[in-house]
Structure 1
Amino acid sequence: MKNFKTIKEYSEVTRIPPARYEHFVVRSFQENMPTVVHKMPPFRHAFYAIALKMNGDGKALSSHYSDFPDGSVVFFNSPFQILSWDIAPNWEGYYVLMTRDFIAQSHIFKNFLEVFPFLKIDKAIPFQVSEEETKTLLNIYQKINEEYLSDNPDKFDFISTYVLLLLNHIKRYFNKETSEEKANQIIKTADLKLLSRYQELIEFHFRENNDWDYSKNLHSPSFYADILNIHPNYLNSIVKNNLGITALQYIHKHLLHLAKSYLTQTKLSVKEVAYLLQFDSPNNFNNFFKKHTQYTPGKYRKSTHI
């Protein structure tokens, strides 16, 4: 399954016009229709999408819905959702795509996922909108598009403001159609899935038969947050809320578990264990191990009689 990490790669494979900017694009569906791939097999992408579909035949599939309601529909996609489509070349409406870097660069989107928690769920939800609501949303998209195509040096300040307005409309639809209890459960499930992905990533990157890349800081929660396409602070809050420890403490706990296993169950030298666990020197590994166990790795091994 393809996983598009950049808007450029996504545009090339789906054969839509290239984006002007690396981290943000706004476009009408009508612009895409002459060249877009009309049938896309399942894929994922690493950015956020918010769309207004006013007309068009065919199906756009996600992990949650198999088709859209009749009439105008607003919908969003978040990173890691599985998507596919089989559409006719007659779609009308607008959409925006934005990367995590775009969000991080704007002070307007501080605490982005805390303010708009529905964006972290892995199930896209389409909302049917009235004719009046369609006009309102269409106006916002057109304002975004006008700024996007302009030469105004402060264009992205305005674009960020309009996107914030768009997100607040979707938040209103989400809250209107989802009870507070159900919304909390959906968001809780999404948090647990992110936590599970975090744990799986740590286990994968420290497997003994893995190909190590020493340019990556596997001891840093930021490394995993980047893969998960979330802010490190948000990752930390998820880990702490569910496990009672920080994201960094979880990594340290995993490292200690592996270190103790290697020291007690193998004949690897302390130096070999240090590099196996991605420490940049045996001395740093010794300091880390002693800080958390009160033993040096050598003394710990002797104390277990291995």
Structure 2
Amino acid sequence: MQKDIPNIEFNAKKPNNSGIDILTIESLAARKDLVKDHHPEKAHQVAFNMIVYYTEGESQQLVDFVWYPIKKNTIIHISKGQINAFQFTKGLKGYILLFTDSYLQKQINALPKNEIIRLFNAHLFSPIIQVPKDSNVLSYFNLFYEEYTNSKEDYNQENTYKSLHSIIFSKLERLKQYQTFHLKRTDKLEMFLQFKSLLETHYKSSRNADFYADKLNITYKHLNTICKSTVGVTAKQFIDQFLVLEAKRLLVNSDIKSTELAYNLGFEEPTNFVKYFKKHTGFTPNSFKKEYI
């Protein structure tokens, strides 16, 4: 049995690639048994961003240990570092658009300021979008795939890819806006994003909401209000959710022992980490790892 979940790197076959690729779901399903070190239907961590557009069929897809139902015109968006697994059922068709973090960062500069909020922000929104029947999003995926796979012209192709990516991204952000609670860039959102950024930096040293409130120069009560209005949970609940997800990813994607992981996550006693993890997941760290590998 393999020791951990594989970390899949971006590896486009097109020469001189700047960080974007597209393939069909059918082509990935067809070669699933031919990939030596990776089976796409087994859990794996991605080192890139991904938009999966299901145009036909029904199935489910794993994103960060949650199985999401799939049907025709479902889109799943996945951020770098998330855990993913496909389930290839008969008649399943669609596209997989992949791009690196560096590619996304360059594209962000060309997008409206708030376009990035709903897509690729796993802690704020569900990864699923249902595309309406009257939408023309599929036309742009078809065009992108045609340009990427059939074009023999290298001249200005990168600008074509960037333009089509921007259109697809903007259209999906617009669809997401109507399928999630309305979230505008407000002072509360800006403060929440600062809190999340601080948590990503300091979660190994502190699980205390007061610590982050002090860093933000606000009260614990104010931080709670911000979290409840933005993500519907208290600051402490958000910290716990973040830490547990990080622990899950590390458990399944490395040879780290639960005792070592406990110290790395700031627990003074491994037994306290085991209790904490079981409280939030129902599993011990070791039983969770066995469940997903």
**Shorter-normalised TM range:** 0.5 to 0.7
Q: 1:55 to 1:190 in 2, by over 3 A?
A: farther
- Alignment-derived partner of residue 25 in structure 1: 21
Higher RCO (CA 8 Å, separation ≥ 6 residues)? 2
- Alignment-derived partner of residue 125 in structure 1: 127
Look up the equivalent residue of 1:137 and give its one-letter code. Answer: V
- Alignment-derived partner of residue 227 in structure 1: none
- State which structure, 1 or 2, has the greater radius of gyration over its C-alpha atoms: 1
The runs of 5 or more residues in structure 2 that have no matched partner are 34-38, 206-211, 218-293
Look up the equivalent residue of 1:166 and give its one-letter code. Answer: I
Aligned partners of 1:27 and 1:94 also within 8 Å: yes
Give me the whole-angstrom Cα distance separating, in 2, the residues matched to 1:63 and 1:187: 25
Residue 162 of structure 1 deviates from its aligned partner by 1.0
Q: 1:65 to 1:84 in 2, by over 3 A?
A: same
Offset from partner CA, 1:203-228 (integer Å, 9 cap, x none): 6xxxxxxxxxxxxxxxxxxxxxxxxx
Offset from partner CA, 1:125-166 (integer Å, 9 cap, x none): 222223322xx1221012212322322321111111111111
- Alignment-derived partner of residue 195 in structure 1: 198
Aligned partners of 1:34 and 1:89 also within 8 Å: no
The alignment yields a C-alpha RMSD, in angstroms, of 3.8
Offset from partner CA, 1:149-186 (integer Å, 9 cap, x none): 32232111111111111111111121101222599889
Offset from partner CA, 1:86-115 (integer Å, 9 cap, x none): 322532111210002223455x64478753
Any residues of structure 2 matched to 1:1-306 within 5 Å, and which? 1-2=4-5, 4=7, 6-8=9-11, 18=13, 20=15, 21=17, 23-36=19-32, 40-63=41-64, 65-88=66-89, 90-106=91-107, 109-110=109-110, 114-118=114-118, 119-122=120-123, 124-133=126-135, 136-149=136-149, 150=151, 151-180=153-182, 192-200=195-203, 243=216
TM-score, with length taken from structure 2: 0.55
The runs of 5 or more residues in structure 1 that have no matched partner are 12-17, 204-238, 245-306
**How many residues matched?**
199
Aligned partners of 1:121 and 1:187 also within 8 Å: no
Aligned partners of 1:73 and 1:127 also within 8 Å: yes
**Which structure shows the bigger proportion of residues in helix conformation?**
1
Identity of aligned residues (%): 14
Look up the equivalent residue of 1:125 and give its one-letter code. Answer: P
